[in-house]
Structure 1
Amino acid sequence: MCVQADQIHVLQVDTAPPLDETVDFPDTQRTNSLTVTTTDRADDALDHLERNAIDGIVVADSLPDMTGLAFVDAVRETDPDIPVLLLTESESVASDAVSRGVTDIFRKDTETGQSDLLANRIRLLVERHRSTETAVQARQRLTELAEQSDELLWVFSGDWTEIQFVNSQYESLYGRSVESLQANPAEFMTAIHPDDQDRVIQAMQRVSAGEAVDLEFRITRPDDERRWMRAEAQPIVEDGTVTRIVGASRDITERKRLEEFASEVSHDLRNPLDVARGQLELARAENDGDHLDSVERAHDRIGQLIDDLLTLARNGEAALDSEPVPLQTVVEQCWQTVETGDATLELQTSAVVRVDPARLRQLFENLIRNSVEHGSTSSRPRADDSVEHGPTPHTERQAETGEQRGTTSLSQSQGTAAADLTLTVGELDDGFYVADDGVGIPAEERENVFEGGYSLASGPGFGLRIVDDIADTHGWSIAVTESDAGGARFEITGVEFETA
């Protein structure tokens, strides 16, 4: 094929060639002209095809060295796709031509204007061939890309009766061949758990009616293994009609098992915790000593660990609901709800970021708790959030405007925890940071602080793992370094700022 899309190179094989060497198309948008190479012999034409890029062929039905159809047979041996236009006046030749690989037939006569009609005919054939070839190449590239995906990608007709595309993940997830699904598009329904089939059918009907659907259901593989799937389906609407349904499915079995485990553990832990809290209240009625405060703090810590466990189990699949959120507002709210002792907050940002506000609050609550608890221990830190502190009394907010842009200072009087600790939240070029002047995190341990269950000497925790998960869900990067004051500094980058 010719590289220049505005020009078509045609090989004309005829003893009485109807096309001139050059044919211009001044009124067309896609092709400016034909450049025509002419020969009257089939063997010369075949030799030319081997040595030159040709976009289309015009051939007579009778040549000195072979018939036109025999020439077409020879061409198709090396190029099955190039457009070939056969010139003939014979009905019998015309009837045999298409089965022999001829693209189109042009009935040759001597009427005026025939050459113009012929030139336009071959131009349209070549343009159509180019469009088809471009579409095929694009489909091949998309198929190659889809095969690299870990998800099951598929395209159904609008009524679910035809499977138009499916990648090979169908075989690994469903345990059935792609060919079997193509032969019977309803096959995937037989794999769906009987208790989920009605719900899936209703979801399919909603998509066919034009509604996007996100659905979880169970399947049973041929080996009787049961798996959980999550499918997202999107209707493609053309002229008011759903013509195709595109979607992606993935295996969420492990996430479901984790959620189930976390819920069971949470239930099993909360029951005795509630009993312990009830007994504590009874004990306070008889003797409200300081030692009972320590018991209450231990109860609160257990409750926090249970909440963190559930958060870790559920965060991975929860959908994001992003909106513009002022960093300063969220940090101030978190500062009022997290136990911060005598720590001081320095806000050095007025940035507004596009983020899921609930997730951002979780992130800051865990980072604040982590910094405060580091600052209140003299033990060797291992970058997590499991130090016990005093109870959370009434919080008093004191705010004043700092010298830097958007700078605010907040302090709380909450017992003896985190005495003299200062925590700073500030801006980066593409994100923000949370830094403290506490004891810091040893350099050799910074790579491990986001691992699940990584802990301080005082016990296990999940706070920084939650922070890492939230950052990853938003597509951010997070790194831990040393602050200017020698404490810990967490830098979150890749954040989308909201501009005025």
Structure 2
Amino acid sequence: MNVILQQPSSVLVVSENVETVATVRTALADASDTTVRHEPDPGDALDTFVDLDEIGCVVLDESVPDVASFRTELAERDDLLPVVYLAPEADRALLSRLSRFESTTYLPRPVAESVLRKVLEESRERYYRKRVTAEESDMLRAFTSELEIPVFVKDEAGRHLRMTDVPGGADQDAIVGKTDREVYSYDPEAAAEFYADDMRVVEQGVSIHQQDEASGPPGNRHWTRVSKVPWPADDGSNKGLIGVAMDVTDLKEMERRAEQLRERLEQFASYISHDLQNPLNLASGHLEMAREDGDEDALDTAAAALDRVDEMLTDLDHLARQPPRAGGGEYVEVPFVARQLWSFVATEDAELVVEMPEPTRIRAPARELRPLLENLLRNAVEHSSTSPPSHAREDAAGRQPSGEPAVADAPADAVEHSSTSPPSHAREDAAGRQPSGEPSVADAPEDAVEHGSADVTVRVGALDDGFYVGDDGPGIPPSERETVLQRGYTTAEDGSGTGLALVAEVAERNGWSIRITESADGGARFEFRDALVVTEPESAHQTGPSIRLTEESAVPGGDVAGSADYDPSSDTWTVRCDTAGETGPRSCYVAHAVTDGSVRIQARLRTVDHVHDRSSAGLWMGDGLGETDAFGSIGRTVGGQTELVYRPEPGGDLARTVLVENEPHEWFRLERTGETLTCSVSVDGTDWVALDQRRVALADPVRPSLAVSSAVPGDPCEATFSTVRTYELE
């Protein structure tokens, strides 16, 4: 039977002296729960322990030969078993040897019966408690080592004493002896909170149940559901705490996704209600006109509006179902889409001015760019009136209350200007565009912000790395520019606060940033940056003389080393980069030429050999090899993603875009004309598609290059290139 369930009930007397046996029996005569056993022979006494578990104490006297040796044999069988030694005289040498055993008590004879009884009962009771403690300790050891339940024990100072070794858990050697302030030092706020809870449990005796705790940086939080209870001591104080910590990070992620889904469903419903109102009213009004006047053009307009309803439902369904994918996978011609959408939002006094070249394309799904542009155009038009929004367009059919049709519903080309109109601020830098960005989450529907007089000019233009939509109304006060981006924000009684929320969501899905500022005409201007923009998809330059790559360099120098070797028999370059220590954020090794003017380099990147997904290889072009010099590059990461990296201005910040493609690209081209860099890809090295055009302040001479970047010091990255061609451009 387990020692916890069976309390020892026997005292074994090992002696040839019958007086000793009688003394023990007399002392325990009133103890009904205790049995006295007698074994005169020490050898037989040792055998007794094989069959009996109820012995709780052993009594010896001087009749036992070599008492110290016998005591040692007892300890080898059970080191917790107490021994009482009765002897008439104190043999100092023997007592010294017996004192090495903690549970040995010496009583000189003669001894009072009451004293002997007390010693024997207390010895037996201590033995039972020690055996129970040892058994429980063994149980806890098995519990913490065998069961995959994350249990931990801490002392009065909050230091870890023991914890379960569970798969994926923390390293015990790194945790034991440390408090949570040390274990979670990477997150000081969380560490202080966890430690304070430990001290409340220990010092105040408070129990904590099912408390969710988080540690780590935002976006990468680790969640634990913790219960802690006091670990009481015999004196009534607490000598520590015992707890259970369950990893609920996956559960929290599921809860987050469920909440996102709920919000998505709510947003989808609000978007449908908001966006369909205009084309449905337009179709209804023109159907009424057709019934009254027999106007076939009105029927055509109604049919177009209903087609737009179907298109909008498809777009919104895409937003609701498809996961975000930065940069999308297609390019949309912005001027065409803007004019197409204008026909559904324009009023009599509204004018659209497209301030970008006709072929300008932005990398984004058309189903996402259309809702963004339509809501921005509608926001500008419907808030251009100082009258209530319901009077800005007297009805969606474009008619006054009298029923007379208004000119406002004329097709887009009747009211818009093309890119040949005098640009007021479309091309605001030497490359013809401003720096780039990404739209943020915004939300100002038709009633969110009032935008001025009855007539409005809306301008759509290109930035250096994005685009903008602006108007000439009174604008948005700086204090409201962040607020209008919040879903549900509105300044009108009948507003829903939905339109700009959809704009913001599209921006966020595509990795764009958004900035609301004042336009050159004093109105509101929404700038979207960190987008990929191509204003001239087809290169207008012919190739001139070819250029050889004759030099190799580290960018920057210092701890960056490498090599570049050309094999003429296979027309293959092998470039290797190794960072030996701390380097700049885009350290690489390049094989390059040095030339002036317009230039193009193209190559097939066959392999990139490295273990770190931030390492990459591709084409690079800069006017210097320093850490802060301007440059642009396009290539492929070890993970197969297309990567574009720029430093547009000397000493400026890096801009990095990573595109997730269905298939990794192998063919890359980098072209410099003036201060514009064009990054292109191809599937066969013949037909090229421009991914991005951006202003980069490069001065002559420039260095068209093959480049390899290693992200891990001491772990080189190697790439092979073939069909490398470099040309001057005419």
TM bin (shorter chain): 0.3 to 0.5
Answer 1 or 2: which has greater strand percent: 2
Instruction: Tell which structure's C-alpha radius of gyration is larger.
Output: 2
Query: What TM-score, normalized by structure 1, do the two folds share?
Result: 0.46
Q: What TM-score do you get using the length of structure 2 for normalisation?
A: 0.33
More helix by share: 1
